[in-house]
Amino acid sequence: MARMTVDQRREALITAAHRVIGDHGVEGATTRRVCAQAQMPLASFHYAFESRTALLAAVIDQAVPRDLTSLADEIRENAPADGLRGVEREVTESMQNLYNLMVIDPGRLQATVSLALYSHNHPELREAGRQMWDRLCGMATTTLRSISEAHGTSWLMDPDELGPLLIAATNAVTMTWLTTGDEKMTQHVIDGVARWMMSYATATEPTAR
C-alpha cells in the first residue's frame, strides 16, 4: 500500500468513523474499530489525531459539507421562474431528495443525529455540535432565499428565522424514517412539511427596506 500523507490518513479515519458511528453508535466508535474500518494499523491513529475526541470533533465538522450552501441550486437545473408553483415544486423536490438520501444511506443520517446528541452531552464537543447546527441553519436560510429569488416570490417570515424551523421539520422527517422505517408514514410527514412550508410562501416580492 502506498504511504499515506497525514491529510489522507485524517480523511480516511473521518470517513471510517462516520460509517462506524452509523453502524455502532458514537460509544461504539472506538479507535480500534475505526482504524479497522479504515484498514490501517491502530498505531498509526495518533499520527492523524491526538485523541478520539479530536477525531469526533472532525467528524462533526464534516457532517455538513462546507461546499454545500443551498439544496435548491442542486435541483433547479436552470428551470424558468414559475411563481408559487415553482416554489412548491422546489420545496417538494428538496424534501423528496432528503427521503431518497435516507433510503440510500440511512447510516450517515443516523450518525449525524447521534453525533448531535452526543456533542450536547459532552462539553468538549458542545461547540462543534453548535457549529454544525449553525451551518445547517445557514444552508436552510440560503436555500429559502435562493428559491424565492428564482421564482420572484417571498416568505412571510424572514429566512433567517424560518431556516431553523425548516431544519427542525426535516429532523422530524429523519427521525420518523430512522425509528419506523415506514415509507408510507414518512411520506405522510414529508407531505405535511411541504404544505407547512408553502403556508409561509407568498407571491408578493419583498419590498426594499
- The 10s digit of each residue's pLDDT in 163-189 is 999 999 999 999 999 999 999 999 999
Cα separation, 140 vs 70, in Å, equals: 7
Query: Smallest Cα–Cα separation from 29: which of 48, 51, 6, 8?
Result: 51
Helices (H) and strands (E) in the chain, counts: 10, 2
With 80 as the cut, is the pLDDT of residue 96 above it?
A: yes
C-alpha cell at 54: 479530536
pLDDT of residue 209: 44
Contact 26, 56 (CB under 8 A): yes
Residue whose entry in the numeric block shows the C-alpha cell 441550486? 73
Q: Which of 106-110, 123-127, 198-202 has the lowest mean pLDDT?
A: 106-110
With 50 as the cut, is the pLDDT of residue 20 above it?
A: yes
With 80 as the cut, is the pLDDT of residue 41 above it?
A: yes
The pLDDT-based confidence of 71 (bands split at 50, 70, 90) is low
pLDDT of residue 78: 62
The CA angle 189-65-53, to the nearest 5 degrees, is 100
User: Looking at residues 52-62, what average pLDDT do you find?
Assistant: 94
Which pTM does this prediction carry? 0.83
Q: Is 201 helix (H, G, I), strand (E, B) or coil?
A: strand
Structural domains present in the chain: 6-61 (1.10.10.60), 65-203 (1.10.357.10)
Q: Is 9 helix (H, G, I), strand (E, B) or coil?
A: helix
With 70 as the cut, is the pLDDT of residue 143 above it?
A: yes
pLDDT of residue 74: 56
Express as a percent the part of the chain with pLDDT over 70. Answer: 89
Cα separation, 84 vs 156, in Å, equals: 13
Arithmetic mean of pLDDT over the chain: 88
Q: Which residues of the chain form beta strands (DSSP E)?
A: 154-155, 201-202
Q: Which residues of 35-190 form beta strands (DSSP E)?
A: 154-155
With 80 as the cut, is the pLDDT of residue 69 above it?
A: no
Paired with 155 in beta bridges are 201
The pLDDT-based confidence of 64 (bands split at 50, 70, 90) is confident
SS (H, E, C) 47-93: HHCCCHHHHHHHHHHCCCCCCCCCCHHHHHCCCCCCHHHHHHHHHHH
